[in-house]
Amino acid sequence: MGESIVLDPLDVWRLEKGLDTGFAGLMERFVELHPVDGILLPNLRMEGEAEKCPFLNEEKRCAIHAFRPGLCRLFPLGRIYENGSFRYFIQQQECPVQPKTKVKISKWLDIGQLAQYETFVLQWHNLLEETGAMAEAQKDEQLTRDLNVYLLESFYQKPYDGRDFYVQFEERLQYMRKLLKILGR
């Protein structure tokens, strides 16, 4: 699995709440940083040579199922992003369970406020695309480092208060977009 379970801000927020820790606590035990398309992002740190998820218990079941990351919720589905939107697809060979039954995406993902979640997913994807494009276009290593630091600090390290996650994410998103617009001039 390696670095494949990349965490978005909602994943980190849920993990912090579920494990009663902050981002620093997650970094100490469960999370590491790796570049994804030129942007430094957190992912679950796998354990041992088998690269086992740190949250699998002895029965190989998810110990954090109620607040598992979005990528884990999604599997064996995937997303294709195109034309300012995305759609789901099923990775047919990834799930050996038989017989396969039809399940609504909302039930499979087990996320309340699915429309709001999907808006968040698209906004986050687009922001990462914009940030990566900005870093690539500027070809300035210091700017790329600064963008990475700002992204990590704003969306992961800075604690979310007791207000709705999506409202706070939107505030941070708007500020980051303003910053990218200024830098793009």
When mean pLDDT is compared across 42-46, 74-78, 89-93, 117-121, the lowest value belongs to 89-93
Q: Give mean pLDDT, residues 76-96.
A: 84
> Is residue 68 situated within a structural domain?
yes
Could you report the per-residue pLDDT of 139-160, keeping only the tens digit for each?
A: 889 999 999 999 999 999 999 9
Residue 3 domain flag: no
Q: Is residue 130 part of a domain?
A: yes
Whether residue 134 lies inside any domain: the answer is yes
Residue 164 placed within a domain: yes
Domain count, the chain: 1
3 CB contacts (<8 Å, ≥6 apart)? 32, 34, 43
> What are the tokens at 104?
């609504």
Quick one: what percent of the chain has pLDDT higher than 90? 69
Residue 4 within any structural domain of the chain? no
Domain of residue 81, residue span: 9-183
Q: Which pTM was predicted?
A: 0.91
51 falls within a domain: yes
Does some domain include residue 1? Answer: no
Quote the pLDDT of residue 27: 97
